[in-house]
Amino acid sequence: MKLVMIGSGYVGLVSGACFADFGHEVVCVDKDETKIAALQSGKIPIFEPGLDHLVATGAASGRLTFTTEIGSAVADAHAVFIAVGTPSRRGDGHADMVYVYAAAREIAASLSGFTVIVNKSTVPVGTGDEVERIIREVNPAAEFAVVSNPEFLREGAAIDDFKRPDRVVIGGDDERGLAVMRQIYRPLALGRSPLIEMSRRGAELTKYAGNAFLATKITFINEMADLCEKVGADVLEVARGIGLDNRIGSKFLHAGPGYGGSCFPKDTLALLKTADDYDAPIRIVEAVVAANDRRKRLMGRKVIEAAGGDLRGRTVAILGLAFKPNTDDMRESPAIAIIQTLQDGGASIHAYDPQSIEQARGVLHDVDYFTDAYSAMAGCDALVIATEWDEFRALDLGRIKTLLREPVLVDLRNIYDRAAVEQHGLRYTAVGR
């Protein structure tokens, strides 16, 4: 089938490359001429494991192309996916729909024959209705259906998530549109992936509800970790004890410095705004958002306490800047608030991350960046593991002891064993242990 992906960012590029790998003909459209030129020359603007190979394969086959011109691409398409950004709107926290609605207007002007318009972006309940209204207003003669098809991609594992999903959610009530969507996702039938069909508004809400629930699990175990520290328990044991209950499950029960990234912070906030608009407040999610915001700076103060209560005039090494491993995404990363808290306390910062240093330069100031973990920690008064990259899991503890000016290791991701760390003469602080 002929597909168009409006937006060549994280969701659009991963989705487009995977659809092309399934055998569909995909055109990725973006207004950013620099981005499109880079993609046409084989340069990937984001870091996602395996994506460079997938894009190169699709481009070489001719099934994946890139353009800034929306008109001809849409005119030939069976389905057009809207995969543009929906950031939190400055000032009130609502999802900013300006790019979605602008895309709908441009699509409408170029429609030819029956076409499915697919909302792939994360959008508030009712967005599909508004997209449909805009298209009918711009092009009353157009034949089309609007469906919701939210993405559930984890950064760092997006390709596997797309090709082997837990579920594919399709929201709509137009049978012609649903038939096209079934055909688009037919390659997944071999893996017996559940294709779940529901109302359009139900699909829109499913995306927000899923992210809010996962954010709640993270925040719950983080607060349990704080209680564990007070009562002398180990949060790893508690998490295992409750996670083996199949009604709860073990995923997202890893205590740490709080959630970040492009989805959970903005989606929980947008869900709260939607709930307020419909006079159905969600108090649990309100508490989750507040607790997570507070936690990030609390982790900075945790580092200060571990280093003796005063870091003025001293230097801290931060390993990991991205909000999670296997991505270069700095959006809402806990490392940002942690570093700012340490700087407010008078500390100088050495930092290293395998992928996100260039992105970090745009959001963090007065930070010295290094090309490897050991050079970053040399001469520092404390070492902090803020992101659990694989290369940080087997650091030479003896070497760390010789490089640090003060033997302080703060493990905010609980990836080390206390006894092993202390055996090398390091003072170890973890989360909830």
Q: Which sequence positions are flagged as catalytic?
A: 263
Name 115's bridge partners. Answer: 144
- Angle, to 10 degrees, between the axis of helix 283-306 and the axis of helix 200-231? 40
Q: For 408-425, b where at least 16 C-beta lie within 10 A, e where not — what string? A: bbbbbbbbbeeeebeebe
What secondary structure does DSSP assign to 228-259, as a single string? Answer: HHHHT--HHHHHHHHHTSTTT-STT---SS--
Rounded-to-integer distance, Cα 358 and Cα 322, Å: 11
- Which residues, 6 or more positions from 81, have their beta carbon under 8 angstroms from its beta carbon? 3, 4, 5, 6, 12, 15, 118, 120, 149
For the chain, the 3-state helix, strand and coil shares in percent, each to the nearest 5, are 45, 15, 40
What are the distances in angstroms from CA 137 to CA 125, 133, 178?
Answer: 20, 6, 23
Task: Characterise 73 by phi-psi region: left (phi > 0), alpha (psi -120 to 50), beta (else).
Answer: alpha
Contact between 317 and 377 under an 8 Å Cβ cutoff? The reply is yes
User: 156: left (phi > 0), else alpha (psi -120 to 50), else beta?
Assistant: left
**Bridge partners, residue 316, by sequence:** 349, 382
